[in-house]
Structure 1
Amino acid sequence: MNALSYKAQRKLILISFLSIPLALLCLFTYYPAVKLIYLSFTDWNGISKSSEWLGLSNYKEIFTNSDLFGVFIHQIPYVIIGVIQNIIAIVFAVILNSKLRGRNVFRVMLFLPFIMNAVAVAFMFQYVFDTTNGSLNSLLGMIGLSSLQQSWLGDMSLVNFSLASIGFWRFMGYNMVIYLGAMQSIPGDMYEAAKIDGSNRFQTLWYLTIPNLTKIIQLNMFLTLSGALAVFDLPFVLTKGGPAGASETFLLKTIETAFQFNNYGLASAMSVVLLLFTVLILGIQNAVINRKGE
Structure 2
Amino acid sequence: MEIDMTALKWFKSRKGQQTLIILAFMIIPLALLFIFTYLPFGEMVKFSFYKMKYTTPVDKRVFVGLKNYAEVFRNKDIFASLTLSLYYMAGSIVQLALALYLATILSFKTKGGNFFKGLMFFPYLISGIAIGFIFKYFYTRGFVFDTILGWCGFDLESLPYWLKDQKINNWSLVATSVWRYFGNNMVLFIGAIMSVDAEMYEAAELDGANKFQQFLHIILPSIKTIVTLNVILSITGALSAFEQPYVITDGANGTATYFINMNRIAHTNQKVGLASAMAVVLLLIIFACTILQKLFFKYIYRNADQTDEVMTKEERKRRKEYIKQKKAAKKGAA
What TM-score comes out, normalization by structure 2 length?
Answer: 0.83
Q: Spell out, residue by residue over 1:144-202, the C-alpha distance to the aligned partner (whole angstroms, 9 max, x if none).
A: 13376221001111111101101111111111111000000111111111111110011
Residue of structure 2 aligned with 1:72, choices 77, 82, 87: 82
Residue in structure 1 matched with residue 52 of structure 2 by the alignment: 44
> Do residues 171 (structure 1) and 186 (structure 2) align?
no
Residue of structure 2 aligned with 1:90, choices 100, 103, 106: 100
> Do residues 143 (structure 1) and 146 (structure 2) align?
no
What amino acid sits opposite 1:136 in the alignment?
A: F
The alpha carbon displacement at 1:207 in A equals 1.4
- Match of 1:20, SS state, is helix
* Pair 1:14–1:90, CA change in 2 (3 A): closer
Residue of structure 2 aligned with 1:218, choices 203, 223, 228: 228
Residue in structure 1 matched with residue 124 of structure 2 by the alignment: 114
The alpha carbon displacement at 1:4 in A equals 4.4
In structure 2, C-alpha distance between the alignment counterparts of 1:260 and 1:190, rounded to whole Å: 58
The alpha carbon displacement at 1:14 in A equals 4.2
> Do residues 183 (structure 1) and 193 (structure 2) align?
yes
What amino acid sits opposite 2:233 in the alignment?
A: L
Residue in structure 2 matched with residue 286 of structure 1 by the alignment: 294
The alpha carbon displacement at 1:127 in A equals 1.7
In structure 2, C-alpha distance between the alignment counterparts of 1:92 and 1:211, rounded to whole Å: 18
Residue in structure 1 matched with residue 244 of structure 2 by the alignment: 234
The alpha carbon displacement at 1:5 in A equals 3.2
Counterparts of 1:253-264 in structure 2, within 5 Å, are 253-264=261-272
Contact 1:137 1:150 in 2 (8 A): no
Contact 1:93 1:176 in 2 (8 A): yes
- Match of 1:282, SS state, is helix
In structure 2, C-alpha distance between the alignment counterparts of 1:177 and 1:17, rounded to whole Å: 31
- Match of 1:27, SS state, is helix
The alpha carbon displacement at 1:69 in A equals 1.8
Residue in structure 2 matched with residue 199 of structure 1 by the alignment: 209
| Deviation larger for 104-113 or 16-25 | 16-25
What TM-score comes out, normalization by structure 1 length?
Answer: 0.94
The alpha carbon displacement at 1:16 in A equals 4.1
* Pair 1:184–1:17, CA change in 2 (3 A): closer
What amino acid sits opposite 1:7 in the alignment?
A: W
| Residue ranges of structure 1 left out of the alignment (5+ in a row) | none
What amino acid sits opposite 1:140 in the alignment?
A: L
What amino acid sits opposite 1:256 in the alignment?
A: R
In structure 1, C-alpha distance between the alignment counterparts of 2:148 and 2:69, rounded to whole Å: 47
Residue in structure 1 matched with residue 10 of structure 2 by the alignment: 7
- Match of 2:209, SS state, is coil
| Deviation larger for 68-77 or 248-257 | 68-77
Contact 1:230 1:251 in 2 (8 A): yes
- The percent identity for this pair of structures is 33
| Residue ranges of structure 2 left out of the alignment (5+ in a row) | 303-334
In structure 2, C-alpha distance between the alignment counterparts of 1:197 and 1:13, rounded to whole Å: 54
What amino acid sits opposite 2:281 in the alignment?
A: V
In structure 2, C-alpha distance between the alignment counterparts of 1:213 and 1:14, rounded to whole Å: 33
> In the comparison of the two structures, how many residue pairs are matched?
291
In structure 1, C-alpha distance between the alignment counterparts of 2:112 and 2:25, rounded to whole Å: 48
In structure 2, C-alpha distance between the alignment counterparts of 1:269 and 1:98, rounded to whole Å: 48
Larger radius of gyration: 2
Contact 1:94 1:180 in 2 (8 A): yes
In structure 2, C-alpha distance between the alignment counterparts of 1:240 and 1:16, rounded to whole Å: 45
Contact 1:62 1:270 in 2 (8 A): yes
The alpha carbon displacement at 1:17 in A equals 4.2
Superposed CA RMSD = 1.6
